[in-house]
Amino acid sequence: MFIILQAQRHLFRCGFAFTTRLRVLAALCVLVLGGHQMKLGILLIAIASALSPNVAATSLEQATDWYRNDYGAQWLSRNNFQAEAIPKYYRHGFTVHLREGGIVEGENSASYWQSFIDSFPNLKGSSIEALKVSELSQYTVLIFAKWKNTNFDGSVFMTCDGYIAAKSSEGEWKFTNYLVVECGDLKSEWLESDT
């Protein structure tokens, strides 16, 4: 324990805030390098500069992947529409921010999502046309998505959505807030086709 505390003090003297994994790594470095504090400091600075940007990028990449490939896959085809699967993506009692102002609690039940799906009887499927995910914190992201919706008759219409999603302590992403937006509300660079 003394070694870990000594490593933590050394890390914070260098001006870095580290995760528990890096603190354990630092403690191991102290054990391996013994009293060679200068070598340890240089090694830890190199590790920090190599890993720090990746920690944030990983969280952002995870949220983007979750939205695009997990949640987005639910809407690709009418055959994929499963009302009972959708509630797992939303926190119970998520907040809906109305476009005209005000907030309400969102309903998150399979019966609600089935009625939502049924309100679009001609919808064949939807795909993500553009996606913008921005990090608010290491565990919270802001998501804006532009959806291309295709009807059975071949007609197409676009819709846009906004969300705030958070990563739970179990490691699962969930929508905590839904933002009612129209595509015209979003900045033009967010509406460009996703490549």
Structure tokens at 170: 């179990």
Is residue 137 a part of any domain in this protein? yes
Q: pLDDT of the chain along its 195 residues, tens only?
A: 344 434 444 433 333 333 333 333 343 333 333 444 434 333 333 333 333 444 444 788 999 999 999 999 999 998 888 899 999 999 988 999 998 999 999 999 999 999 999 999 999 999 999 999 999 998 999 999 999 999 999 999 999 999 999 999 888 999 999 999 999 887 766 656 553
Domain extent at residue 40: 2-55
Q: Domain end: 40, 55, 70, which one? A: 55
93 plus 160 within the same structural domain: yes
Structure tokens at 90: 């939303």
Would you give the DSSP letter of residue 175? E
51 plus 71 within the same structural domain: no
Give per-residue pLDDT as tens, 27-77. 333 333 344 443 433 333 333 333 344 444 478 899 999 999 999 999 999
Total domains present in the chain: 2
Question: Whole-structure pTM over 0.85, yes or no?
Answer: no
Axis crossing angle, helix 20-33 with helix 2-13, rounded to the nearest 10: 110
